Structure 1
Amino acid sequence: MIRKAEKKDAPRVLELLREIAALHHAGRPDIFFGADPKYDEAALCEKFGRENERIFVSVDENDRVNGYVMCVLQEKDDPFYTQRPYRTLYVDDLCVDKAARRRGVGRALMDRAVEEARALGCYHLDLNVWACNEDAIRFYESIGMQKERQYMEIILDGRW
């Protein structure tokens, strides 16, 4: 079942945030510190109540969180007038517990995010995914997402 996140869900969501932090650290230790989540419990609970954020959790039959999606409503208005203004629902974070993967949880969470984006009158739903997170890239492609743009880098470690 997918439902809006509640304060009681914060400890479990923090556990899943630690999984994501560890994954990012393993893939890009030059950028990510380690397994500390990007929010503490107080900050996470505050996010649950923000007007421009939508956070949904997937729960099992015992109401235990096995995944979440965090979304932020954004108004895009180009100050240089090279792009049309539009509204988007940005997926800031998605995580499914390892034990619940490949069971439709991620798809159900993204379906709920798309439903919310439509209800909010958004043009699209978008997200960023790190190139080192190949499983996530495959998942997003499998549900029909496509590249909008690519960020590229050169690490300035003396080899350039």
Structure 2
Amino acid sequence: MTNDTNRDETTAAGAAPDAHIRRAEARDIPQLHKLLREVLEVHHRGRPDLFNTGVTKYTDDELASIVSNDETPVFGAFAADDATLYGYAFCVFERHADSHILTDVTTLYIDDICVDEAARGRHVGTALYRHVLDFARGAGCYNVTLNVWSCNPGAQAFYERMGLKPYKVGMEQIL
């Protein structure tokens, strides 16, 4: 889905007074890596049998490709200096145009959302999520979806406060 939101910037309503939200750019990659590592460590602590530690989710080239692609918009909440990243939301447009069982709707899937530990409690996550909702509405999406690991009850509680409801549940049996 093509959208002219690369330059779109909004004030992060309710967030830190100096916060604003914009599309992430290649220059933000070092800070994106820092927050991606924070998320990985949360998941590693909760499920060390599944999540590695001390690694990076993406290479610099992969991140550059993601942030430059309109099909995978990444939004960042930045300080007034536009250099300090408070949090991010990685998104992916999903469609099931050729499915025999799923309707042909456009979904904005939130692949990853994180607020820096130092910025928590300042409503940065709320501002990011609301920005994603507004973006999805503007892009003609039917819904916004995400996955949350059960080992991260804080994230699940946040998403429930934002109004999300389970639409499918993943289950496992460890052998």
| Shared fold, TM over 0.5 | yes
Q: Is the contact between residue 78 and residue 84 of structure 1 (CA under 8 Å) also seen in structure 2?
A: no
Q: 1:138 to 1:78 in 2, by over 3 A?
A: farther
Distance apart, 1:78 and its partner CA: 6.1
Q: Give the aligned residue type for 1:54.
A: P
1:10 aligns with 2:29: yes
Give distance in 2, aligned partners of 1:29 and 1:4.
32
Give distance in 2, aligned partners of 1:114 and 1:97.
21
Give distance in 2, aligned partners of 1:28 and 1:129.
13
Supply the RMSD in Å over aligned alpha carbons: 1.1
1:49-60 to structure 2, matched below 5 A, reads 49-60=68-79
- Counterpart pick for 1:121 among 137, 140, 155: 140
1:9-28 to structure 2, matched below 5 A, reads 9-28=28-47
1:70 aligns with 2:90: yes
Give distance in 2, aligned partners of 1:73 and 1:97.
25
Q: Give the aligned residue type for 1:28.
A: R
Give distance in 2, aligned partners of 1:62 and 1:118.
29
Moved over 4 A (4+): none
- Counterpart pick for 2:107 among 63, 75, 88: 88
Q: Can you list the C-alpha shifts for 1:63-85, whole angstroms capped at 9, x where unaligned?
A: 21110001001112463x33322
Partner of 1:148: 167
SS across alignment from 1:93: strand
The TM-score, its normalising length taken from structure 1, stands at 0.92
In structure 1, list runs of 5 or more residues that go unmatched: none
SS across alignment from 2:93: strand
Give distance in 2, aligned partners of 1:83 and 1:94.
26
SS across alignment from 1:147: coil
Q: Is the contact between residue 19 and residue 35 of structure 1 (CA under 8 Å) also seen in structure 2?
A: no
| Number of residue pairs the alignment of both structures matches | 155
Give distance in 1, aligned partners of 2:43 and 2:110.
17
Give distance in 2, aligned partners of 1:20 and 1:65.
14
Partner of 1:42: 61
Higher relative contact order (CA 8 A, sep 6+): 2
In structure 2, list runs of 5 or more residues that go unmatched: 1-19
1:138 aligns with 2:157: yes
Q: Give the aligned residue type for 2:144.
A: L
